[in-house]
Structure 1
Amino acid sequence: MPLNIPNSLTLFRIAMIPVFMLFFFLPFKWAAPASAIIFALAAITDWLDGYLARKLGQFSNFGAFLDPVADKLMVVAALVLLVYYDGSALMAIPAVVIIGREIAISALREWMSELGSRSSIAVSWMGKVKTTAQMIAIFLLLWRYDIGWIPVYSLGLLLLYVSTVLTLWSMFSYLKAAWPTMREEMVDDDSQSGV
């Protein structure tokens, strides 16, 4: 495993997951904003590790594998905490959609990789917009408390729904890109089974 700067930042992002979770459960009013800030610092490393990998020419297969795993672990951990805190369908529904999409697209990428067609479902600009919206929404929801007249939690919930729509949109974009390969595989499977 090449332990370069981008990979170190990705590992740092994973290490921050239990830290922001711990702060989330502390029984102090400042704990929620502290959890949000730790989450935000970890999320910033997502942008920073990609930037440094390009700038320093420090790409690696390990980094390409670990970076999206770190993102998904962060998002899923935060959404589970938020569903625990909120306990309403308004929070649970987008959380299930987002987590379900992440599982489905990860499985699709793995399958496409086995077929040698992973490049046809590479991360798109829509995926990046979706990730940014998710991270901001989760930050606001973890922060929880209003700042002056700004209804932070309500704003976070609204942005979570926007990111849920973007999540579905990007999922359908990936499925559309993968459809020719999927159709070809289904035809091959049918011909091999004699259907």
Structure 2
Amino acid sequence: MLAKVLLLKQLYLKRLCGEVYCQNVVIREPNKINFRKSSLDEVIHSCSLCELSKSANNKVIGSINTESRITFITLKPIVKYSASFEMISNISNRVFEEEFYNTLSLIKCNTHLQIKDEHAIVCMEYLKSQIDNLNPKLIIIFGIDSAKYLIGGDEKLEDLRGRVLNNLLDKQRDFIVTYSISDLLKNQSFKKAAMEDFKIAKIYLKGCK
């Protein structure tokens, strides 16, 4: 998957230089020696493929623990010690009773700009590579926008909630979709509804080896 990320970066850089493609493009695969030296984190930190990178204070890789069985995914980065950070920590520790967890975001740039489709497309391969490296038992997606970009489709949030979505993406990942973190922070009724989603997720995790 990291090879795809590097190839995608090459393609976008060529386009930014003015090249226009009218047919299938054959991009030379990166040198394998250089590829081994390049980590995914380095690729993300050096990314400048869209306008978000120009306004971002920094790139946020996420909070990662390789022992975790569960990964939380948000649309925008979660800043440490923020209200969103504390909420996810409480969900993992108090609801799931999981000491270790991963927190990833689709968008890696810490910016207040509005997220557009072209931004998500650039970041998508980064997120998929992170998921492949972590190989979690279950992925909790916060918000319909995150779900739309990651698993596709045009379903509404209420059509995705309340069940485990099985065997999605290339590696047949399992997902639970619930309300966005911002909605949970603003609306107490959403918290109660999200708890039902978390109960389903907790039962599922208990059945995982």
Fold match by TM threshold 0.5: no
Which structure shows the higher helix fraction? 1
| Between structures 1 and 2, the one with greater strand share | 2
Q: Which has the higher contact order (CA 8 A, sep 6+)?
A: 1
Q: TM-score, normalised by structure 1?
A: 0.28
Q: Point out the structure with max Rg over C-alpha.
A: 1
